[in-house]
Amino acid sequence: MLGRLNHVAIAVRDAEKAAKIYGAAFGAEISAAVPLPEHGVITVFVTLPNTKIEFIQPIGEASPISKFIERNADGGIHHICYDVPDIIAARDRLIAEGARVLGDGVPRIGAHGKPVLFLHPKDFSGALVEIEQA
Ligand code: CO
């Protein structure tokens, strides 16, 4: 049920600026900035051979990552995202095993145009987990 590591997300004040060093120093492929108003963030992806780094920047004070940025002024690792073959089946099994799904439990469309859900960090060793339909 658990697929590959889709991405590691790092929350920052300025996603384009944060991604730049990966392009300049590592020669990595950097995406354009993509605003996701429904999620309250702007994203910039760094593509690696085996996964991606997702820089996320808050849009406005109501953004779900605003408080995280207040606590981590220099940025910090915010969540990890795993592929799952069937997000509804994964959600139902996670709930049956006692994991908490954040929000109303209905998948939303994420940065790659695919459905995503977030899982409570207290159920995953302190790490916020995102699952994405592969
Ligand atoms: Co993500």
Number of domains in the chain: 1
- The residues that bridge with 132 in the sheet, in sequence order, are 83, 116
φ/ψ (deg, to 5) at 59 = -105, 110
* Tokens 């889709």, located at residue: 6
Q: Helices (DSSP H) in 30-130: which residue ranges? A: 66-71, 87-96
Q: Compute, in angstroms, the gap from residue 81 CA to the centroid of ligand 1.
A: 6
* Tokens 């790092």, located at residue: 10
DSSP 3-state of 76: strand
> Quick count: other Cβ atoms within 10 Å of Cβ 2?
10
130: annotated active-site residue: yes
pLDDT tens digit string along 32-60?
999 999 889 999 999 999 999 999 999 98
Q: Which domain holds residue 105?
A: 5-133
pLDDT band at 112 (very low <50, low <70, confident <90, very high): confident
Quote the pTM value. Answer: 0.92
Residues 38, 61, 130, 132: which is the catalytic one? 130
CATH number at residue 29: 3.10.180.10
